[in-house]
Structure 1
Amino acid sequence: MTADLAPGPVRDRGATRIADRVVAKIAAQAAREAAGPVPEGASKPHASVVVHRDAAKVAVSLELDYPTDVGHRCGAVRSRVRTRVEELVGMDVHEVTVHVERLHSPLTRQTGRRDRVS
C-alpha cells in the first residue's frame, strides 16, 4: 500500500505558472504578425492580459493605415492571438478585444502631425 503513496517522477510533480506579462508579450507579437506592417509613425501593437487559472482575457491595442478593412484586420489579429497563446502557453483564451487607437492616413504622414485649430 505504501507504493500508492510514493510520489511520481520529478517531471510529473509541481505546477507551472506563466506570468501575465509573458502571455502579454506573446499576444503582442502575434498581433504584430497578423496586423501586418506598422504604419510610418505608429506604435507597435501592445497587449495586456488578465489570467485566471488556465484561462486568459487579452486586450490588444494597435494603429492601422487608412484606408483599410478594419473589421477584417481586427478579426485576423483576434484569431492569431488566440491561436498563438493557446499553442505556446496552453491556456484557453476566452476573449480577445482589439482597440484601434489611431488610423494613419497619407495626409497625416505627409504633414508629420495634425495641425491644431484654435
Structure 2
Amino acid sequence: MEQTLAAAGELQRDLQRELTYDGLRAAEAKGPKGGRRPVVVAAQTAGVRTAYSEGRSVAALARHHGVSRGAIRTPVSDLLPDHSAGEEDAPAPELPVTLDMPGKVADHLHTTELEPPNAPRSTKG
C-alpha cells in the first residue's frame, strides 16, 4: 500500500514539474514581458520627464503623483546626473579620520604628532 501511495506521489510531482516547465517555456516564447509593472504609467512618463528637465525635484514629482521617489527615478534615469567618479585614475579624496577610542592608546594618539603615510620615516640611530 505504501508503494502505491509513493508511486502516486511521484507521478503527481512529475506531472507538476512538467506543467511548470511547459508554462515557463510558453512565457519565454511570448517575449521579455516579465517583472513588475511600472507605477508611473506610459501616459504620465512624458510629463514627468518634462517636469524633471524643467528643474522639478524627484521628491516633488513623487509627492505630486503620489508615488515613491524610486518610481520617479525609473522614467528619468537617463536624465539623472552620473554620480560615478569622473576619472578612473583620479585618486580618492582624503577624508579626515576620527577615532573614538577610550583609554591610554587614545591619549597617546592625541598627544603624538603622526607623520603622513607617504612621508619618509626618520631613522634614529
Q: TM-score, normalised by structure 2?
A: 0.28
Instruction: Pick the structure with more helix per residue.
Output: 2
Bigger radius of gyration among the two: 2
Normalized per residue, the structure richer in strand is: 1
**TM-score between the two structures when normalised by the length of structure 1:** 0.29
